[in-house]
Amino acid sequence: MAKNLSVTIDIGTTNSKVSLFEISTGKLVSRKSFQTEKQVDSFGDLFDIKDIWSQLVNILQDFVSKYIGKIDSINISSVGEAGVLIDSNGEIVTPMIAWYDRRAFEYINRLTDDQKLRIYEITGLPAHSNYSVPKIKWLVDHLKLSKQKKYTWLNVPDLLAYFLTNQIKTEFSMASRTMGFDLNKRTWSEEVLEIFDLENMIEFPEVINSGDIVGYTSSDSVQELGNEKISVRIAGHDHMVGALGIDLKSGDLLNSTGTTEGLLLINNYPFLNKKNFEESLSNGIFTNSQYYTLFSSMPTGGNAFEWYQNFFNISQNEFEKDCNGIYQQYLDNEIELDDPVILIPHLNGSGAPFKNGKSRGLMYGISLSTRREDVLLGIFLGLCLEMKYVANCFPMEHVNKIIAIGPVVKNPLWVQLKADALNKDIEVVNMEESVSFGALKAAYPTFDYEINYRKVKPIQQHVSSFDQMLDKYSYLYESKQVLIDNK
């Protein structure tokens, strides 16, 4: 019996998706999703790994029982930075701190300027509490783990692959989000571990290429999968896997949208220079490991719209109606952009070039006549101006085109504002789950499918308005930065 099906797993910040595809055609056979469950402790947010695993096992068992002998592989992608420590017996000894949790900030704050520069030179990452190594330091200290023992760090997909196969491995794009991986040597960095006083006790897995086989479910580690021998593979960091899914090329700038937003460039050399260090841009290794990445995450994206709906207590249908109304007014030139409400969308901290978890949002331009729809437009404008502000840190002169993926593809207002803000065509990928297709492409490099784009051109009369708004945005941004620095 031919094994003609493949499962992709995408563990996201808000929701997780498990999809079953025909390998030869990319046809979606089945898809199930669940909320990525969180827990809260005295310090912040944790991912509930027990619930996530339980949900996954139930879905995998359902797929396997319906398609006995037909599933060839399980391919895992996820958010980066989050993970757990396991001991020498393979037992989990720590909770899983959410990637955005700030509890490890104290260890970043203690670093000298020279140490921060050295970390960037080695790992290509700006020292920040989001990354794995400071989280590991926090776990070691606060859980009082013995420094006489050895512990291994497993990122989210590494852990799930370990549950499925009893094998311990990771993948390049995940490794390069830990702040413990030497980009040039492509080895784990003892020097970074020494900076955090973690040497001799913390180990990391063997690093393999995206899509390589970690092991098989036939290890009997999961009884629910029966006697199925299904290969298990790590696709990688979700933003990077999504880029692989839409066949990102060198010179393309990817705008990946979701709960957060990201900008991503790839090239065959690392982007390690003083400018990128000063502007807190993140380097890494792509899912196709011959390429390096330049990446910046904007911690607020779609979660700003969730905040808007909660704040005004409106439904998704009402939100979409608001968006469509503003979009039509915008196309009909009925919206004035000379003095609109503007939100600096640091609702969950800020990314490059001022990467700071303590940063907060700021709304300017509210008056007695401000309506709910004005606030929504201000959120859209703020998200697009934030993207423009961050994009100015990238070598835009080398960008051939901008490709947008994620929830933005369903929101024509957001896409049009992005095109106007950057004064560039935006190629919108008509693909809801690019991460899932990227995971398939990682596992099956010859997997081929048609990518459909629609091109959105900037409205030139609005381009100059965005340039003027950016001046105001920059002034507000820098003024707010002073407030944060003085805390």
Q: Which of 206, 240, 274 is the last residue of a domain?
A: 240
Taking the C-alpha atoms of residue 449 and residue 433, their distance in angstroms, rounded to an integer, is 13
445 part of a folded domain = no
265 part of a folded domain = yes
User: Looking at residue 192, what is its pLDDT?
Assistant: 98
**Are 209 and 126 contained in the same domain?**
yes
**Are 383 and 408 contained in the same domain?**
yes
92 part of a folded domain = yes
Find, among 155, 341, 340, the residue nearest to 240 by Cα. Answer: 155
pTM: 0.87
The residue segments making up the domain with residue 154 are 5-240
**Are 198 and 224 contained in the same domain?**
yes
Taking the C-alpha atoms of residue 62 and residue 58, their distance in angstroms, rounded to an integer, is 6
**Are 183 and 95 contained in the same domain?**
yes
Taking the C-alpha atoms of residue 54 and residue 210, their distance in angstroms, rounded to an integer, is 25
59 part of a folded domain = yes
447 part of a folded domain = no
For the chain, the distance separating the N- and C-terminal CA atoms, rounded to the nearest angstrom, is 65
- Tell me the angle at which helices 238-245 and 434-443 cross, rounded to the nearest 10 degrees: 80
260 part of a folded domain = yes
Residue 389 CA, chain-centre distance (Å), reads 19
Three-state DSSP at 144 gives: coil
Residue 215: φ, ψ to 5°: 180, -160
User: Looking at residue 401, what is its pLDDT?
Assistant: 86
Q: Are 285 and 270 in contact (CB under 8 A)?
A: no
Residue 193: φ, ψ to 5°: -60, -35
**Are 213 and 296 contained in the same domain?**
no
**Are 212 and 298 contained in the same domain?**
no
Q: Which of 240, 256, 288 is the last residue of a domain?
A: 240
**Are 251 and 235 contained in the same domain?**
no
User: Looking at residue 303, what is its pLDDT?
Assistant: 86
Domains contained in the chain, number: 2
The predicted-structure confidence for 198-211, as pLDDT tens digits, reads as follows 999 999 999 999 99
**Are 256 and 183 contained in the same domain?**
no
Taking the C-alpha atoms of residue 32 and residue 58, their distance in angstroms, rounded to an integer, is 11
414 part of a folded domain = yes
**Are 67 and 214 contained in the same domain?**
yes
- Beta strand spans in 260-369 (E): 261-267, 282-285, 292-298, 342-344, 362-364
**Are 318 and 200 contained in the same domain?**
no
The predicted-structure confidence for 423-449, as pLDDT tens digits, reads as follows 989 999 887 788 899 999 999 988 877
Taking the C-alpha atoms of residue 310 and residue 303, their distance in angstroms, rounded to an integer, is 10
User: Looking at residue 67, what is its pLDDT?
Assistant: 93
Structure token pair of residue 64: 């396997």
**Are 201 and 252 contained in the same domain?**
no
The one-letter amino acid at 50: K
Q: Which of 240, 264, 285 is the last residue of a domain?
A: 240
Q: Are 74 and 231 in contact (CB under 8 A)?
A: yes
User: Looking at residue 258, what is its pLDDT?
Assistant: 79
Q: 138: domain CATH number? A: 3.30.420.40
251 part of a folded domain = yes
Query: Consecutive sets of 10 residues in the chain, 487 residues long: mean pLDDT of each?
Result: 90 93 91 96 95 95 92 95 96 96 94 96 95 98 93 97 96 97 96 96 97 87 80 94 91 86 90 89 94 89 90 94 94 90 86 78 91 94 91 86 87 94 90 86 87 91 90 85 68
Taking the C-alpha atoms of residue 73 and residue 444, their distance in angstroms, rounded to an integer, is 10
Find, among 156, 421, 130, 429, the residue nearest to 299 by Cα. Answer: 130
Number of CB atoms found within 10 A of residue 194's CB: 11
**Are 236 and 254 contained in the same domain?**
no
The one-letter amino acid at 18: V
User: Looking at residue 155, what is its pLDDT?
Assistant: 97
